[in-house]
Amino acid sequence: MPTGARPLSQRFGPYVFQRRRHGSGIVVDMNTPVFLITGASSGIGAATARQAAAAGYRTALVARSADRIGALASELGGAGESIAIPCDVTEWEQVESAIQSALSEFGRIDVVFANAGFGATRGFLEESPEHWKAMVLTNVLGAAYTIRASVEALEATGGHLLLTGSVAGHVSLPGSVYSSTKHAVGSMAESARKELLHRGIRTTLISPGNVDTPFFDNTPSVAMTDDDVARAVMFAVSQPETVGINEILMRHPLQDT
């Protein structure tokens, strides 16, 4: 069991069935913690899913690409270990349903990583208004929806909420609407932290610089790997209950912005 994860019976008391039989006949251990990731189909999300599974978590993989998360769920053990949940995080009903699907499958959620997002070419005369709208809805509203849908499940387990921010959320990049969305996510993470600490939920903002992932059309000249960022995520969730990592701001050592 990952460091700091308390048995479910200690949180819910005597009202918990410690094991249940999965629909396929597999017996699921209800004490094994669950890690839910949005934007899990590639990049940081997929890397985090693999590291979480290696650390002993069951995983709930949420993304629009059903084929990709389906293949990843199979790689991570399939039924009883990992579930693929197709979802558009800009649609409240789908996000709410995704959380319920994970709870129905596993009986609990211990970590939620609101990671879904994408970028845009810099310049206020670049991209289309439609692209901007989709990006703002995904990066900002999608994160807010994910928080709202998961609060009660995380409160029940004394869980951990993480959001993907960015170095771009700390500096104002010329002509970057994407940067503006990540400023919003950073503020949202701190707002969530201040509210949710009273519910026993820890909150962490993960703010990476350049990462060599499908996020970029052209790989930056200096960049971290998605595994580098996933290790930071796992570091945050592995801390004892006396430690809250509020933010991890990280760059490649040679990134100068």
Q: Are 182 and 139 in contact (CB under 8 A)?
A: yes
> Is residue 225 left, alpha or beta, with left meaning phi > 0 and alpha meaning psi from -120 to 50?
beta
Q: Are 67 and 93 in contact (CB under 8 A)?
A: no
Three-state secondary-structure class, residue 59? strand
Q: Is 178 a catalytic residue?
A: yes
- In this predicted structure, what is the pLDDT of residue 120? 87
Three-state secondary-structure class, residue 231? helix
Catalytic residue among 15, 57, 145, 178: 178
Does the domain formed by 20-250 have CATH 3.40.50.720? yes
Task: Measure the CA–CA gap between 175 and 142, rounded to whole angstroms.
Answer: 23
- In this predicted structure, what is the pLDDT of residue 218? 65
Q: What is the mean pLDDT of residues 207-217?
A: 78
Report pLDDT digits (tens) over 139-188.
Answer: 999 999 999 999 999 999 999 999 999 998 899 888 899 999 999 999 99
N-to-C CA span, the chain: 38
Q: What is the mean pLDDT of residues 25-42?
A: 81
Averaged pLDDT score across all residues of the chain? 88
Q: Are 238 and 3 in contact (CB under 8 A)?
A: yes
